[in-house]
């Protein structure tokens, strides 16, 4: 029978091997939330009127032009068009290098399902961030 020490040593060695492969190959997909998760978190923060908490989901470049007040106005436009949002679901899109696109499906009692689409860019540390706000969606017109 193996001792606990040898089992822990084998587990640690396995974890080191996996970490070496992930970081050695620069595989950021394993340790980084996917683009659709970033978009879903962003829209959930907006729906919960937590505009300051929504700002970190934006790329550094976008944060130079977007404030919590801008996000409040953006969220108000969504609420005016959709009414109360009862469900938010991130949907995968595409990824290529340091660029991606993902969608968020919004379900509202008054108008049904609407989609917002967001372009994303990979920032420092390999994290995805929203590069632009979707202003062309029918959900906002």
Domain ranges of the chain: 1-31, 33-140
Euclidean distance between CA atoms 117 and 95, whole angstroms? 14
Class of domain 33-140: alpha beta
Question: In the structure encoding, which two tokens stand for residue 94, read together?
Answer: 């595409």
Torsion of CA 44, 45, 48, 51, to 10 degrees: -150
Per-residue pLDDT of the chain (141 residues; tens, 9 = 90+): 567 767 667 666 666 765 555 455 445 556 899 999 999 999 999 999 999 999 999 999 999 999 999 999 999 999 999 998 999 999 999 999 999 999 999 999 999 999 999 999 999 889 999 999 998 887 776
Cβ(74)–Cβ(136) below 8 Å: no
From residue 54, how far is each of 1, 45, 62, 67, 76 by CA, in Å?
A: 52, 5, 12, 10, 14
Output the pTM of the full model.
0.78
């Amino acid at each position: 029978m193996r001792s606990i020490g040898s089992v822990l040593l084998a587990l640690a060695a396995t974890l080191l091997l996996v970490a070496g492969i992930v970081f050695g190959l620069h595989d950021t997909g394993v340790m980084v939330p996917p683009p659709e998760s970033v978009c879903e978190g962003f829209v959930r923060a907006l729906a919960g009127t937590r505009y300051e908490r929504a700002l970190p989901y934006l790329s550094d470049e976008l944060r130079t032009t977007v404030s919590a007040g801008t996000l409040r106005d953006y969220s108000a436009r969504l609420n005016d068009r959709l009414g109360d949002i009862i469900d938010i679901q991130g949907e995968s899109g595409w990824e290529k290098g340091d660029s991606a696109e993902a969608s968020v499906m919004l379900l509202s009692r008054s108008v049904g399902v609407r989609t917002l689409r967001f372009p994303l860019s990979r920032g420092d540390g390999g994290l995805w961030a929203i590069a632009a706000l979707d202003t062309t969606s029918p959900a906002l017109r």
